[in-house]
Structure 1
């Protein structure tokens, strides 16, 4: 299964609020849901036109007005994906043997596979490594999100988005093939026992990469709302370059004079913006809130939600906000595993940016373009002398290590899938 920090899954999954099948959970703002009643046949939208779901609950797709080239990326007119046969993927993964499993979730399992430069299966250990996601045939919600992955990732091309290479649909067998991300998920590196701590410099690099991916999604004429930004959906390649994965919940943004879209509430507790959870109103800047939560996790080394923390600290955002704007208090919040080895000026600027992203009202949050520009400014900052102990008094630092950063045992998985990998779609 490999190193736990590079792709063997994780033993904690944040709780989702997604229905396990269409229609089993409806927000007070939802109306009709358009779904497919069959998982057989061929996907008519792949390779030609795209199916757009109507109603408030389905996944929408299609970039009719948004085809074009953007900084470092582009939106394709049609997907450029290989259609694999089931036999090819069975061969590539050694017949889906257990020792090929990279992770597992409600969607199904993700397997390690090997292909050559023409995407033909080859002997394990040779050629190029890929990640093969195999749908649980009983999951209708998984089918919708499988289709959304193709609709979005099949046409979105950017260095900070995980590359979808192809798909398979034969009878009830639904599979997706992705590039392999050698370092697994950001969540594993932040919270998995046995993973060496990420340095301050690496965390800043990862934040910038993830921000570039989101900024690209928001820059298209038909803005793409990612809707599920969280640490487990940020994957890292061998050089710790961050790429966004799992577009199963992505939606096209508002059109015309509309400020938001109204949709069935789906996502992950702790990361979803408050206005979306309360009303079902989804803004482009709802993604910015999720980015702020992940930034807070990277600063503090603590999970967005953890029931094992002391009373009043279940929600990291609620508890940590007062620490973000004060240099002296910030030292108590910073991850103890830094051992003070971070640039205090950069950290304060990053904390203030995080606070802005977590603003209660969408209009008060910066755009992802502004977030990216600020992070790049922070990265380029030159300190007079490298900090060796961070900031704050020794008493503050001691407090941070003994109180703010007490680590608890990983919470039992709140969903069906108990083992997931960066490549695995989380349990639905």
Structure 2
């Protein structure tokens, strides 16, 4: 009997070994700093104060989404610890917080930090440390550079791609237009401007004035006045929410009614249009890749039902009209998807590997037909948009979904 028991034990051990070898996920768990059997530590840097504080709702929505995931048991049994700091949209503060998150808080990665200049200030550091700087909340083209910065990846469509779509629309609808551009005097604004000129091609001379502003300015009224005086009948406002609302108000005040296009980052009904005034915002144009939380057409949409339930349960103070809430929810959902794909291999290397292998992933709040795809040589998850016009109290989508690949 003892011999039989010994043989059974040997066979059981051999079977267990074979099973483990055939399924590496069962064989061992792999962790880097910030991950364990019970926890995943995620860092974030957001402008909860300062000139871009309208975006604070993104960080709050992301935190609420992770709270939802934790309440449902976490990711593969692990709870997410979300550590988010306020940089007031100031690059030196971003650097300070990134170092603290990596070196003191021991996060596994930094996710969804907002801003072009702010993320630009920490990109080299993150790549030298080989810590993922994942799903950057900025549409700068430079986040899609896996060859030189393999630890940094964007999330939303690039500003340059969006601007090319506007250029295409202007050339079709107002080929003789005179374009006045108000742009933020940093990488964010310059990226848009470059994309607009690329999209206009040999018609770039349609731009009659390029007017920069700094985020330290309390108001941009005088810039709007100058653009009207330049004879512009197309007004492109490459601005963050506070200044986008100011520009809408000032244009109405001086009785200027050009074709008015605002960048997607300032297309929030609750954060920009409502504060500026519904009446004076009629007909404004933009482009989107997310569903509008204020639009009743989505009330029966399964994805938006889940979003509304999430707000009711986990983020009741959030304004569902605010595009930042929709954005934060979808970005956090993408982050959780990557963590789920990692299984028990929660190394920084595997985080980037899985982030670069997303296939047709559709977060609840993205427009129908828009899906997230990445590859080792493509760090641009979303590359599609649809034009929209403001009417009544909501955005009205029109035309087809347009790919940012406008070469054909």
Tell whether the structures are fold-level matches, with TM greater than 0.5. Answer: no
Larger RCO (alpha carbons 8 Å, 6+ apart): 1
The structure whose residues are more often helix, as a share, is 2
Q: Which has the larger radius of gyration?
A: 2
Structure 1 length-normalised TM: 0.27
TM-score normalised by length of structure 2: 0.28
